[in-house]
Structure 1
Amino acid sequence: MAKNIHADQRFITGLVNNDTAVINEIYKRCAGKVKSWITFNNGTEDDAGDIFQEALMDIYRQAKYKSLELTCPFEPYILLICKRKWLNEIKKRSILPVTNNEDDLLHIGEDTFANADELEKQEAQSKLFLKAFEKLGERCKEIISWSMKGEAQEKVAEALGVTYGYLRKKKSECMASLIKIVQSNQTEEQ
């Protein structure tokens, strides 16, 4: 079956040819996202820089020696590689058994591309959710934010100074409003 090579293959070609403009574009588009994700997940900015560099080197080696062909967008692809590398790094640091060895990490199969596509869909959904969330009233934002922290509902009710029954009813109303906004945004964008 013929692969559909993605237009972002130009990033791979740029890396292999050491094209400064393309490499700068990769940094502009992806480095910030990798940095926020890693710092949000117990890493430092230095960790993020190291992981990003390693991911670029891995992609470079795959492209140069194994003719890597992208079948999905570059950005979610490199983000996925960085996430896998960082999760491995966390496991190493906490002396837990590391599930992927270097070869597993570099094995770029169709599942990686599918995961990268999935990641891109999730990002699009997150943006939709955040846009909708911003349109909610302050009380709803507060209730949903608290509920998403994973606290027990009784604790959330106490923190917000309301009864457990009121919180459940209000949360369900807020979630219904949020879903309506998301659905109306989706139809607007189609």
Structure 2
Amino acid sequence: MIKYVYRELYPVIKNLIVSNSGTDEDAEDIFQDALVIVYKKGKDEELVLSSSFKTFFYSVCKNLWLQRLGKLKDIRQIFVEVEEPVTLPESITKEMYTVEDEKIKLYQKHFLSLGDDCQKVLRLFLRKISLREIAEIMGYKTEKYAKTRKYDCKEELKNRILNDPNYLNLIADD
């Protein structure tokens, strides 16, 4: 059973994590943590699926990754939408899932309100493109200007989020 889960689900989970600012190591950690959670819930007979196992496992991994991103307190790339609808079992709190979705929507709203130049610089930075390459791609004369521009864009995004009235409500829910 474990071999099947690794073979069928690990590539999907790795893609989720790596596509959303994570590393291969992050994907391995999240996958292992999710296996432990699923095992414990199954062992304690708390595991009642209201969706396919694949959807359930994906949801557990996504929630674990969202929690880890929240703890990092970094501005991260927008989460790619799930290809299939996810139905969360009762054992995973829907409230936490909703709050995380609202945080993502708040980030998306303010990210998309930035100018095209800032959006592109931040996207390149989040893809771990070097400042030298960002300068070349963006047509900046120096790497130092790319660094300054990245910082200014990041600060602008951060300030927009922090000044949004919904932000205080969301952090109060944590």
TM-score bracket, shorter-length normalisation? 0.3 to 0.5
Structure 1 or 2, whichever has the larger Rg, is: 1
When normalised by structure 1's length, the TM-score is 0.41
When normalised by structure 2's length, the TM-score is 0.44
* Higher fraction of helix: 1
